Structure 1
């Protein structure tokens, strides 16, 4: 339940709407009970047992005083218009009371709608904001489908289960309490029986609810597995078809579906047990009340000295008690819904309470311009206790191009990620212009950097918006100029909508070379002093590589560049080449110097020449 209350914190800023909802629900309950109590004098008139009170009651106000006063007013009405007229007046009052009750109930629900929709919006916004702040390592550990599931199905589950119960949180408890108070004024003995039996029913319902929550958690985890499988199948569809693996993949997916079906069947069976179980238990209580109350009436009829319920009051008691059953039933269903939704709430809270590893210091310094150098000093970095970089000492001076080469998995990309502060070092220090990188504002730091990766990350939008990513009110002329520098303007102009051409999901409507040139145009548009190129040409054919390499050469002019390279031919003119092997720098120098050393770089160079 603690996760349920954490989710309800999102409702705090809508407290005034919630207060209005509570007040309207109270009005609805009071008018509902008032209309039902008017049935008692109707029965008295019909049975000829209505007590006549000729004088107004005196003394302090109490339940008996109220009863005598109503009897006095009813006596006046009967004497004025007769029993038939009195019956008609009471019926009209009941109609008005029920109308006000339902009108208040409608406006209570009306006031709840903006709370419900706003909370769901706020939860999704909070999740999206949190995910944008989490470090890259978090997403390496989690499956995409699981995160998508938390943003979609879990939030929807919270909306449908927990938010749906907000309407009954005030109305039903108030209805039950007010009804019990009214019943106490009619018969203490019968009400005590009600109060004794209802908690027993509540214990039975609560036990079922706990098992429902456990199953619901498994159901949400399994749904995340299904979404992950869908995402992987769509992304890898070409490979699946190429290897004729449709049957194998579909078989695995069928297994996931069956697991989900079994879990959901169990959940639905338990949830559907809520209504009949609560109704059956309530009926048992009703039968006990009828049996005991009937005996009280028989006793009073046999012995007039015994003061007990009148027949019409007893029937009124049963009618009022029957009005407790729907809210009790509704609360039991709401409890089940909360238990089911709490599993989703827990998964949402897990994301929201995840510690942000890469944090900005409270008094972080601004960084308006890169002036001197980037320097690693005795730097160590591990991932899941596995050493990735060890004792890195490296300086990248402003305006220089530093290329990093080495075997796959050696730590080259991790080095670049540390410069962009996607991760923080475990030991040692990374300096920017002589100050620890952790001392700068993250926004200012990343504003100094442009990134071009091996896999061009593009969005399902226009070419214009992809190039202008992160720039407010971009100038169209500057967009075109950036595209020309990136050798992209020519092919963009051939599209019917030119720069407004939609490139599809991850840019699938473009070739690899075209995507990479748009990625370079995006970096040109940002115009950063520091450039990080992570194997930007390794996945291209020779013709595309030449165009992209030419664009990169233009981009790197007069910038500080950190180039992660697989093809050594692309970095021969670098100011310095750094060779990393198993997380350590094993060689540094220019292309010619390293070849003369005949060590690691010489070996890599010969291997590529042979291939």
Structure 2
């Protein structure tokens, strides 16, 4: 029950509807019991004791049954057996119609509740995923996260939410039916109840192992989605290196493991229904034997017509017990999926905002790295970084791959938090500002332009809070993108495809630059924005970047050192530390890493 606490909290918002659902189920069960109850007086009067005189209902100890019997006796006496049978049939039909009407109403009430809970669970999961820091996603497999967002949610829907009605309706059915059975015969019902816990114990032991296997199956599905996602993303590499067989073997390994696990789960799950039915038939046989002996003896108050009604009632609780046992299996299976969802929902967000965080709309003086350290576990990425960037200046970070350049700039928008030292904006630690406000100050253009499967216009407008068409077009002009966009068949309404695959590399980059232009940030971060482009595209993109950099504070990461020679300051990094700093002309006069890197590129 603890694992279902989140779902129960969601359900708490629908107390009134749940109460109505409970009431409609109760009425459906009662009318179903009434329709069965017609069997007893009709059996007695029409088939067992038709020549008996009309009895006085006050003389019978079971007054309610006696009143029903007396009423039917009176009908037979007044109308005859044939008409009484017609009225009895009509009563059964009416009671059955009322039963099914209330069953429909109960489903009409339940389905919106169930769908609303699942909608909220999906929304909470996606919202949580958006709130987690970048570092979380570097440690998790994308396929596994996708599996939790899709297949695990579906598993919860099929295995847990679909059984909610069972856990309301079936216990009600069992309680009302067993109460009626106790009313008819206490000894027979107590004898019956001895056998029911035995089947529950057997089914429970099987269900315990099912949950463990279900968890493994969901993890394997996450691994499979990861292999599929990696293969689709890297299909060009797979084809180029003739690695189809290698990827197929990876896929088949996980696929075969999941095949075996799911077969094991299915064999145990499917055992629940036949096992409960077998136990039910066994108990019915015992009831027939024991109840028959009670009737044969003269010491029991149980009469033949009551025993017929008793058997009819008992058949009504076989399916509820069967459904409960099946639901128990499903709950065990679904709780494994819910556990994986809870793991993501409970993941700690290491980027915390202070309760009294300040707002910031612009910065006036500088951004400063003060003895900044950053590490992944034991691996130190930045070690004692000191850097001050004055407003309006352009600072370039250069150095070999793995020197810590990208990590350093990722700390400014708080994609990660420093593990030592601090980053200051106008002398105030960025942790004292609201996270969203800090990120609004910053525009980012990455080496790999990231576009979404939407129109060009919406990709440019993304995150700007409803810019006008004219503003979008002006941003595209500044980014040297307006002309090629108009040449597209649908202009700004052209859908760029998955990850922007319908555009060339230079076109994708200019769209991302237009996005940054429209945001109009005071601080711009350029992370190898032209390194993957051909010469013509690089020239167009560089012109767009030059337009973007005007009157802005810029942090530029570059391997092509020719693009940063005019920077106000060049920071040379190696192994997480600053080893040189200065302007291009100053660094070229020194015997150091920067000069060595420039000379190596000139030789190329």
Q: Same fold (TM over 0.5)?
A: yes
Q: How do 1:318-333 residues align onto structure 2 when only pairs under 5 Å count?
A: 318-333=311-326
In structure 2, what is the Cα distance between the partners aligned to 1:76 and 1:46? 12
Q: How do 1:157-556 residues align onto structure 2 when only pairs under 5 Å count?
A: 157-300=155-298, 306-556=299-549
Conserved? CA contact 2:57–2:63, under 8 Å = no
1:420 Cα offset (Å) = 0.8
In structure 2, what is the Cα distance between the partners aligned to 1:69 and 1:413? 87
1:63 Cα offset (Å) = 8.5
Q: In the alignment, which of 134, 156, 159 is matched to residue 132 of structure 2? A: 134
1:520 Cα offset (Å) = 0.6
Gaps of 5+ in 2: none
1:15 Cα offset (Å) = 2.6
Q: In the alignment, which of 69, 72, 97 is matched to residue 70 of structure 2? A: 72
Q: Tell me which residue corresponds to 1:12.
A: 12
Q: CA-to-partner distance for each residue in 1:262-290, whole Å, 9 max, x for gaps?
A: 11111111111111000011111111111
Conserved? CA contact 1:53–1:68, under 8 Å = no
Q: CA-to-partner distance for each residue in 1:373-412, whole Å, 9 max, x for gaps?
A: 1111121111123111111111111111111111111111
Q: Tell me which residue corresponds to 1:31.
A: 31
1:12 Cα offset (Å) = 2.3
Conserved? CA contact 2:192–2:283, under 8 Å = yes
Q: CA-to-partner distance for each residue in 1:543-571, whole Å, 9 max, x for gaps?
A: 21121111111111111111111111111
In structure 2, what is the Cα distance between the partners aligned to 1:457 and 1:132? 16
Q: CA-to-partner distance for each residue in 1:151-173, whole Å, 9 max, x for gaps?
A: 11111111111111011111000
In structure 2, what is the Cα distance between the partners aligned to 1:52 and 1:269? 59
Q: Secondary structure at the match of 1:460?
A: coil
1:539 Cα offset (Å) = 1.0
In structure 1, what is the Cα distance between the partners aligned to 2:459 and 2:427? 34
In structure 2, what is the Cα distance between the partners aligned to 1:224 and 1:263? 14
Confirm whether residue 106 of structure 1 aligns to residue 99 of structure 2: no
The alignment's C-alpha RMSD in Å is: 1.6
In structure 2, what is the Cα distance between the partners aligned to 1:555 and 1:307? 97
Q: Which has the higher mean CA deviation after the structures are superposed, 558-567 or 88-97?
A: 88-97
Conserved? CA contact 2:45–2:72, under 8 Å = no
In structure 2, what is the Cα distance between the partners aligned to 1:251 and 1:439? 51
In structure 2, what is the Cα distance between the partners aligned to 1:580 and 1:468? 35
In structure 2, what is the Cα distance between the partners aligned to 1:605 and 1:265? 62
CA shift in 2, pair 1:79/1:240, >3 Å: same
CA shift in 2, pair 1:85/1:417, >3 Å: same
TM-score (norm 1): 0.96
Aligned pair count reads 603
In structure 2, what is the Cα distance between the partners aligned to 1:194 and 1:239? 68
1:52 Cα offset (Å) = 6.4
In structure 2, what is the Cα distance between the partners aligned to 1:48 and 1:516? 91
Conserved? CA contact 2:35–2:92, under 8 Å = yes
1:311 Cα offset (Å) = 0.9
Conserved? CA contact 1:44–1:312, under 8 Å = yes
Conserved? CA contact 1:374–1:432, under 8 Å = yes
CA shift in 2, pair 1:63/1:424, >3 Å: farther
1:87 Cα offset (Å) = 2.7
In structure 2, what is the Cα distance between the partners aligned to 1:222 and 1:288? 45
Question: Any runs of at least 4 consecutive aligned residues in structure 1 with deviations exceeding 4 A, and if so which?
Answer: 50-56
Q: Secondary structure at the match of 1:419?
A: coil
In structure 1, what is the Cα distance between the partners aligned to 2:71 and 2:358? 79
TM-score (norm 2): 0.97
In structure 2, what is the Cα distance between the partners aligned to 1:68 and 1:271? 46
Q: CA-to-partner distance for each residue in 1:101-145, whole Å, 9 max, x for gaps?
A: 011111111211111222221111111111100000110011111
In structure 2, what is the Cα distance between the partners aligned to 1:206 and 1:542? 69
In structure 2, what is the Cα distance between the partners aligned to 1:159 and 1:52? 59
Q: Tell me which residue corresponds to 1:564.
A: 557
Conserved? CA contact 2:372–2:422, under 8 Å = yes
Conserved? CA contact 2:75–2:84, under 8 Å = yes
In structure 2, what is the Cα distance between the partners aligned to 1:489 and 1:29? 68
In structure 1, what is the Cα distance between the partners aligned to 2:93 and 2:326? 30
Conserved? CA contact 1:154–1:344, under 8 Å = yes
In structure 1, what is the Cα distance between the partners aligned to 2:206 and 2:465? 54
Conserved? CA contact 2:133–2:351, under 8 Å = yes
1:432 Cα offset (Å) = 1.2
1:53 Cα offset (Å) = 6.2
1:54 Cα offset (Å) = 4.5
Conserved? CA contact 1:403–1:562, under 8 Å = yes
